[in-house]
Amino acid sequence: STTRSRVVRMSILSESITSIITESKKKKTINFVFGEFIAQSLIMADQIHTWHWVSDEKNTHEVLGDNYKKMRDLLDDLVEGYISNVGDLNYTYSSKLTTKNSSKKLIVRELNEYRSLLGDTIVASKSMGLPTVNDNLVELNALLDKAIYLLGMK
């Protein structure tokens, strides 16, 4: 299923980020993995936006609507900060979005999977010495925490 393959891709990417932290600080490797993190982030932002459109529950619709807009802004700041400090950003964007009205439980599970990947990326960004990039990642994490909390309330 689309959800399962997305979880597998995030798990593999998470492992890659972890190995960079422990094994390598080479610009090309960091650039590729950070680029792939951005690709997964764009996919997640698109998925959140799609869930927002198809949700038939007012609370879920509002929480996701607020989330995807702020997430896009944060990703824009994050990528611009990265490019200005590191240079090129390489990634491949390919996605199959879930266009069905999904349960809050499924949405929260996918947001938590993405948040796990984000946590690994935060750790990696600290080793790169890019405080602005790290600040944007931490803010993105807080945004996800808020959405997960609000979706779990009702």
Q: Which residue has the higher pLDDT, 34 or 41?
A: 41
pLDDT tens per residue, range 95-137:
777 777 788 888 898 899 898 889 888 888 887 777 888 889 9
pLDDT score of 8 more than 90:
no
User: CA-to-CA distance for 44 and 21, rounded, in angstroms?
Assistant: 24
pTM here is 0.72
pLDDT at 140: 93
Residue 84, number of CB atoms within 10 A of its CB: 11
Residue 152 tokens read as 């779990």
**pLDDT band, very low/low/confident/very high, at 19 (cuts 50, 70, 90):** low
Report the pLDDT averaged over residues 29-36: 68
Q: Which of 46, 21, 48, 50 is nearest to 33 (CA)?
A: 21
- With the C-alpha atoms ordered 16, 20, 24, 28, is the resulting torsion angle positive or negative? positive
User: Can you give the pLDDT at residue 37?
Assistant: 85
What is the Cα–Cα distance from 153 to 21, expressed in whole angstroms? 35
| pLDDT band of 23, cuts 50, 70, 90 | very low
- Averaged pLDDT score across all residues of the chain: 79
Here the contacts of 129-134 (C-beta below 8 Å, separation 24 or greater) are: 130/81, 130/82, 130/85, 130/86, 132/81, 132/85, 133/78, 133/81, 133/82, 133/85
Of 111, 120, 95, 121, nearest to 143 by C-alpha is 111
